[in-house]
Amino acid sequence: MKSLQLTMLTDFYELTMAYGYYKSCRKDEMVCFDLFFRDNPDNGGYSIFAGLESIIQHIENFRFVDEDIEYLRNRDMFSDDFLEYLRNLRFTGDVESFLEGSVMFPYEPIITVKAPIIEAQLLETYLLQVVNHQSLIATKASRIKQSAKHRLVLEMGARRAHGASSSVLGARAASIGGIDATSNVLADQLYGVKALGTMAHSWVQLFDTEYEAFKTYAEIYPTNCTLLVDTYDTLKSGIPNAIKVIKELLVPKGVNHYSIRIDSGDLTYLTKKARKMLDDAGLENCHIVVSNALDEYLIKDLLNQGAPIDIFGVGERLITAKSDPVFGAVYKLAAISKNGTIQPTIKISENVDKITTPHYKNVYRIVDENGKFEADLITLHDEVIDTSKPLTIFDPKHPWKSKTFDTYELVPMLQPIFRNGKLVYDQPELDEIITYAKDQKEKLWDEVKRFEYPHKYYVDLSKPLYDLKQKMIQSAIKKG
Amino acid sequence: MKSLQLTMLTDFYELTMAYGYYKSCRKDEMVCFDLFFRDNPDNGGYSIFAGLESIIQHIENFRFVDEDIEYLRNRDMFSDDFLEYLRNLRFTGDVESFLEGSVMFPYEPIITVKAPIIEAQLLETYLLQVVNHQSLIATKASRIKQSAKHRLVLEMGARRAHGASSSVLGARAASIGGIDATSNVLADQLYGVKALGTMAHSWVQLFDTEYEAFKTYAEIYPTNCTLLVDTYDTLKSGIPNAIKVIKELLVPKGVNHYSIRIDSGDLTYLTKKARKMLDDAGLENCHIVVSNALDEYLIKDLLNQGAPIDIFGVGERLITAKSDPVFGAVYKLAAISKNGTIQPTIKISENVDKITTPHYKNVYRIVDENGKFEADLITLHDEVIDTSKPLTIFDPKHPWKSKTFDTYELVPMLQPIFRNGKLVYDQPELDEIITYAKDQKEKLWDEVKRFEYPHKYYVDLSKPLYDLKQKMIQSAIKKG
């Protein structure tokens, strides 16, 4: 998975267009594409960017190999010279991107690609797939972790994931979103997401008695002992057997980390009963792990009801982002070279939200004196902002709404990743990304992180960019 | 992707349990697991099985390679002799399975695995992932194709899929469900799902005028010409330009297959207007393709409103199965060898639906004299049914409900796939699977295929199996 060459994972129209650009002698025209999204999942106030590592890998491996060329030749649509051109095609452009773990907001460019048209076009499908999938899961994970507060959250959705990469890269994205560990062994082996696990119901069933099943497990794994107590009867059999085994085998050895797991039933009722039974038996430090179709809403409810849960296992609703499984990032043409210079382009739509923001751009985050994120500002790519002066920003849809900052810092959000096709970015370890993501979320106001009607974070246009957009809309309308 | 070795794509607890079985000297015990599901997605009346090809591949490639062993050694939990054992482990058991494209129903075993416990356990996560993902998409695709009636449906969700395998294997599963083609080039290259495509908005934007963009495209692809008409203004600019180009370039060449595509706006309104404009221009055979967040519900509505659509492009809502993205298949222990013979086992639950059906089993489909599917019958594995006699089946939850068949055929649904670890099944081509799936759906009563409150297809237990289950429940309750 890590080294997979996925150049052919593309929509066929990228290839028909590529051949069209080639045939109409436009293949070397430079263009700029923006990758951005329009809505935070689950009506949330923010999203978490993930996927840059996969994108870097994809661009570095980008090439059509012999069997790809043969497949395309057999389609009987493309000329031999074009196929030879494809065989030698490598990415030679510039990519700028948000860093993984960044909080991000609708309508700002998360990635910009400046490259000859065919190269930029052929990246579209894969870049969107990566960002849409991994940011979706990172964002969902962040919401779930937020609902669990200081408690551990484990990702255990492999069996309900939409295929191998959904599970493995999903587990990685979930860890960027704040999940503490995964059940997925391959995600650990390939990406270093800590993998954990203990037992399933089949373990308990295989032994003649539940007691024997627990005892055998505790003997083999005295320091990694989570006993699954709901195979037969949680309160009458599972918990009493767990208490017996812990007291007989673990306590005498001085082990003081152990847990029970409940995977069915009314989790508030059962965990309250379980906590009391464990405490009465002197096992105050026995952790209670729960799982069973959990997400941020259920976790919030369980905790509001006072369920004494220490660890949440989250499966299908995280790995598929069940409540809102589509992250809608798009990839839109923003500028085209004409006579050697980059010229802005715009896509008009009757739906105002679908009008694109023209030109090659940059994004800055406005950070206040306490380090809190106040707003993001989209500018022209080469625009220079004098931070010694107060900064006034405008709401792009409602320009009479403006806000002025006197003391602030401007953090550039788009970092150079590729320059002329060469990787210029030093990739961090997953741990660093996780720390960065945590820091990003701490710098967001709680109001933006609220699940219900979150405060809308400002993403504004600089004055020159705003004026350019208005001018181009006016001129397009006149032309129409 | 096709040759990927994914033995490590497993939940960590499969490995802790495997080591536990090994350490407690139970590694060679034969067990039987059933893979089954509890609910059809979207409250539907049936599901479509997909994933067997991936499963066969997985089992044939099943082995821990050196780097896997090293990863596990570094986890510091497993003994060296166990790691050596794992290194040499291959699958040696029996697998029986429904064939891809079969219609299937809740609570019947779709796959049975009879193997030494460690082997059976280590397959769990991957088998579930494959069935859950691919059957989910095949089922969703089947519903969407059903809503579109005789019209073509194209899968174009790659950019919104949950990773590479989600898109590629999803496109394959969608074709089993009845989708006519995909946008996904890799799905065609690897699995032979026909890939198609024409142009995106960026093509139109790159040219100075929409007319020039259409004209250039039609010159290059006169026989594969679908013009995307909604970049600027569908009715005022897109369709008039398309008509002009078709009449100037395609009609004179004698081309009579061409289309326009509308990807935004009110699709009923726009397609009605478009149809009239095209017909008025003498282009009665110009097809109208639409796309934009479609699924079976929207397609049904559009057609009910009389939208003159010829082809549907379906993206995110198919490839993520947005309205119900979790297919809940589970893998449950059904039998254990004791003293050399296979003994049934049961998992009791307070939730009646979660009580498993014990023992190694078989599934037969009862087909009436007209070839229609009447019910499925779950039996003991070695049970022989005398088809010369009338057959009475019982509802397993409501045994007073019974039904007798006088003339019927019994079709065995579980086919031998592996015997003693050896593949004994001759894999069909995708085309054959698609034809088989189509035939399966034709043999289902329309009442079962209805979206709203479909008729519940009977899945019943044979008398001996029913009696065994009751006896085991009674005995478990007494023990409790």
- Considering the domain boundaries, does residue A319 fall inside one? no
Q: Which amino acid is at A359?
A: H
Minimum CA–CA partner of B337 in chain A: A206
Minimum CA–CA partner of A183 in chain B: B11
- Considering the domain boundaries, does residue B432 fall inside one? no
- Considering the domain boundaries, does residue B372 fall inside one? yes
Average pLDDT for B272-276: 98
Report the distance separating Cα B373 and Cα B365, nearest Å: 7
Average pLDDT for A174-201: 97
Contacts of B31 (CB under 8 A, 6+ apart): A202, A206, B114, B115, B116, B117, B120, B333, B335, B336, B337
Put simply, the answer to whether B133 touches A170 (Cβ < 8 Å) is: no
Total number of domains constituting chain B: 1
Which pLDDT score, from 0 to 100, does residue A135 have? 98
Which pLDDT score, from 0 to 100, does residue B4 have? 66
pLDDT above 80 for A245: yes
Which pLDDT score, from 0 to 100, does residue B350 have? 73
Residue B15, min C-alpha distance to chain A (Å)? 8
Which pLDDT score, from 0 to 100, does residue A159 have? 98
Q: Which helix (H) or strand (E) holds B30?
A: strand B30-36
Q: Cα torsion for B139, B141, B145, B151, to the nearest 10°?
A: -160
Report the distance separating Cα A423 and Cα A420, nearest Å: 9
Residue A185, min C-alpha distance to chain B (Å)? 6
- Considering the domain boundaries, does residue A116 fall inside one? no
Pairing outcome for strands B286-290 and B258-262? parallel
- List pLDDT tens digits, range A335-368: 998 878 999 999 887 778 888 999 999 999 999 9
Contacts of A120 (CB under 8 A, 6+ apart): A31, A32, A33, A93, A113, A114
Minimum CA–CA partner of A67 in chain B: B189
Put simply, the answer to whether B189 touches A321 (Cβ < 8 Å) is: no
Residue B269, min C-alpha distance to chain A (Å)? 14
Which pLDDT score, from 0 to 100, does residue A4 have? 66
Query: Which residues from A are below 8 Å from B117, CB to CB?
Result: 206
Query: Which residues from B are below 8 Å from A68, CB to CB?
Result: 189
Put simply, the answer to whether A162 touches B163 (Cβ < 8 Å) is: yes
Cα B428 from chain centroid (whole Å): 16
**What secondary structure, in 3-state letters, does chain A show?**
CCCCCCCCCCEHHHHHHHHHHHHCCCCCCEEEEEEECCCCHHHCCCEECCCHHHHHHHHHCCCCCHHHHHHHHHCCCCCHHHHHHHHCCCCCCEEEECCCCCEECCCCCCEEEEEEHHHHHHHHHHHHHHHHHHHHHHHHHHHHHHHHCCCEEEECCHHHCCCHHHHHHHHHHHHHHCCCEECEHHHHHHHCCCECCCCCHHHHHHCCCHHHHHHHHHHHCCCCEEEECCCCCHHHHHHHHHHHHHHHHHHHHCCCCEEEEECCCCHHHHHHHHHHHHHHCCCCCEEEEECCCCCHHHHHHHHHCCCCCCEEEECHHHHCCCCCCCCCCEEEEEEEEECCEEEECCCCCCCHHHCCCCCCEEEEEEECCCCCEEEEEEEECCCCCCCCCCEEEECCCCCCCEEEECCCEEEECCEEEEECCEECCCCCCHHHHHHHHHHHHHCCCHHHHCCCCCCCCEEEECHHHHHHHHHHHHHHHHHC
Which pLDDT score, from 0 to 100, does residue A351 have? 77
Report the distance separating Cα A26 and Cα A18, nearest Å: 9
Q: Which helix (H) or strand (E) holds B35?
A: strand B30-36
Cα A364 from chain centroid (whole Å): 20
Contacts of B248 (CB under 8 A, 6+ apart): B215
- Considering the domain boundaries, does residue B55 fall inside one? no
User: In this prediction, what percent of chain A has a pLDDT beyond 70?
Assistant: 99
Put simply, the answer to whether B201 touches A333 (Cβ < 8 Å) is: yes
Minimum CA–CA partner of B230 in chain A: A349
User: In this prediction, what percent of chain B has a pLDDT beyond 70?
Assistant: 99
Query: Which residues from A are below 8 Å from B22, CB to CB?
Result: none
Mean model confidence pLDDT for chain B: 95
Cβ atoms A102, A283 nearer than 8 A:
no
- Considering the domain boundaries, does residue B461 fall inside one? yes
Minimum CA–CA partner of A120 in chain B: B202
Average pLDDT for B353-371: 94
Report the distance separating Cα B381 and Cα B392, nearest Å: 18
Report the distance separating Cα A148 and Cα B94, nearest Å: 43
Query: Which residues from A are below 8 Å from B193, CB to CB?
Result: none
Minimum CA–CA partner of A236 in chain B: B480
User: In this prediction, what percent of chain B has a pLDDT beyond 90?
Assistant: 89
Q: Determine whether A5 is exposed, middle or buried from the number of CB atoms within 10 Å of its CB (0-12, 13-18, 19+).
A: middle
Put simply, the answer to whether A23 touches B220 (Cβ < 8 Å) is: yes
| Cβ-nearest to A162 among B133, B231, B347 | B133
Which pLDDT score, from 0 to 100, does residue B42 have? 98
Question: Please, which residues bridge with residue A103 across strands?
Answer: A48
| Cβ-nearest to B320 among A6, A237, A325 | A325
pLDDT above 60 for A480: no
| Cβ-nearest to B199 among A16, A23, A336 | A16
- Considering the domain boundaries, does residue B447 fall inside one? no
Minimum CA–CA partner of A351 in chain B: B265
- List pLDDT tens digits, range B288-307: 999 999 999 999 999 999 99
**Which tokens is B40 given?**
């059809």
Q: Which amino acid is at B185?
A: V
Query: Which residues from B are below 8 Å from A332, CB to CB?
Result: 201-202
Q: Which helix (H) or strand (E) holds B320?
A: none
Tell me the pLDDT band of A402, cut-offs 50, 70 and 90: confident
Cβ atoms A204, A242 nearer than 8 A:
no
Put simply, the answer to whether A184 touches B15 (Cβ < 8 Å) is: no
Average pLDDT for B49-65: 97
Cβ atoms B412, B364 nearer than 8 A:
yes
Give the largest Cα separation in chain B, rounded.
84
- List pLDDT tens digits, range A255-299: 999 999 999 999 999 999 999 999 999 999 999 999 999 999 999
CA count, 13 A, side-chain hemisphere, A124 = 27
Residue B165, min C-alpha distance to chain A (Å)? 5
Residue B125, min C-alpha distance to chain A (Å)? 5
State whether residue B153 is helix, strand or coil: strand
- List pLDDT tens digits, range A16-32: 999 999 999 998 999 99
Pairing outcome for strands A422-423 and A103-104? unpaired
Report the distance separating Cα A256 and Cα B25, nearest Å: 28
Put simply, the answer to whether B163 touches A166 (Cβ < 8 Å) is: yes
CA count, 13 A, side-chain hemisphere, B226 = 21
> Domain range spanning residue A396?
360-412+454-480
pLDDT above 80 for B395: no
Tell me the pLDDT band of B479, cut-offs 50, 70 and 90: low
Which pLDDT score, from 0 to 100, does residue A403 have? 85
Cα B20 from chain centroid (whole Å): 34
Which pLDDT score, from 0 to 100, does residue B234 have? 95
- Considering the domain boundaries, does residue B23 fall inside one? no
| Cβ-nearest to A199 among B16, B71, B184 | B16
Mean model confidence pLDDT for chain A: 95
Query: Which residues from A are below 8 Å from B4, CB to CB?
Result: 1, 4, 164
For tokens 């019943």, the residue is B460
Query: Which residues from A are below 8 Å from B133, CB to CB?
Result: 161-163, 166
Residue A79, min C-alpha distance to chain B (Å)? 11
Residue of A130, A202, A223, A267 to mutate, interface with B, max B Cβ within 10 Å: A202
Minimum CA–CA partner of B225 in chain A: A16
Query: Which residues from B are below 8 Å from A216, CB to CB?
Result: 20, 24
Interface contacts A/B by beta carbons within 8 Å: 307
pLDDT above 60 for A3: no
Which pLDDT score, from 0 to 100, does residue A333 have? 96
